[in-house]
Chain A
Amino acid sequence: MKFGLMVSTGPYTHQASDTAFQFAKAALARGHEIQRVFFYHDGVNNATKLTEPPQDDRHIVNRWSKLAAEHKIDLVVCIAAALRRGIKDEVLANGFRISGLGQLVDSGIKADRLVVFGD
């Protein structure tokens, strides 16, 4: 099955980004496709390479980058939500790109299921 994901909360404060990641990993392991992960609302904060968690904690941002590289997953950050929150191209971690909200609707159209993670 082809899944589109949306992450609507930032890293660490909420578990949603962790859960989305675990979902993606599990789906891929079962042979499903992750068509796109769209980061909206505070979810855009999952995309900044300035993130530096303590060493004994998981690195949520780098974990997404690694998964995207391994499985060629399209990680899209909403431009309007990103600019509001100080996320720009110059702070984007590997594998993320900034684009419009149309990419979320496009995901809803092209994926078999759109799954939302967040409040």
Chain B
Amino acid sequence: MMTDEIPGDEPAGPPGGKVKKFMFVNRKAPYGTIYALEGLEVVLISAAFSQDVSMVFLDDGVYELVKGQQTKGIEIKNFSPTYRALDGYDVEKLYVERESLDARGLTEANLIVPVQVLSAMEMGELMQQQDVIIGF
């Protein structure tokens, strides 16, 4: 979905080049602002560059992964199935912060994809290992 590859925009990633750790941090609810959707577009593109990509869901960002989203009433496309397609793009590292889930009464069972649940402390350590962090 949603790729916007155009001529002259070829991936500059390996082979030969260096692999960097890219982390995309999602902090916002899926609807209400465009950040979750446009953030997902970046993740899908980044997959074409053969980098070490991970996604993090924090704060209201955990709502992006909640099962059973119904968006008809707001006339906005439900793009949550795209998270299930990430696997096919070799984006397999999905991390969710435990405190954010707890604060919203959610558990892993409410989520649309398998994730790794980390504490805020562990998340911080993971962030420290990254080369590039982009927040949406």
> Is the Cβ of A110 less than 8 Å from the Cβ of B6?
no
Interface residues of B, count at CB 8 A: 28
Within B112-136, the residues touching A (CB, 8 Å) are: 131-132, 134-135
Q: Is the interface of B mostly helix, strand, loop or mixed?
A: loop
Determine the distance from Cα of A20 to Cα of B21 in the docked complex, in whole angstroms.
24
Q: How large is the interface on A (under 10, 10 to 19, 20 to 34, 35 or more residues)?
A: 20 to 34
| A80-B4, A102-B45, A103-B9 as given contacts; A116 in contact with B35, CB under 8 Å | no
Contact residues of A: prevailing secondary structure: helix
Q: Are A99 and B12 in contact, with the CB atoms below 8 A?
A: no
Q: When the two chains form their complex, are residues B20 and A109 in contact, meaning their CB atoms are under 8 A apart?
A: yes
B35, B42, B131, B135: which contacts A101 (Cβ < 8 A)? B42
B residues with CB within 8 A of A:
2, 4-6, 8-13, 17-18, 20, 22, 34-35, 38, 41-42, 45-46, 48-49, 51, 131-132, 134-135
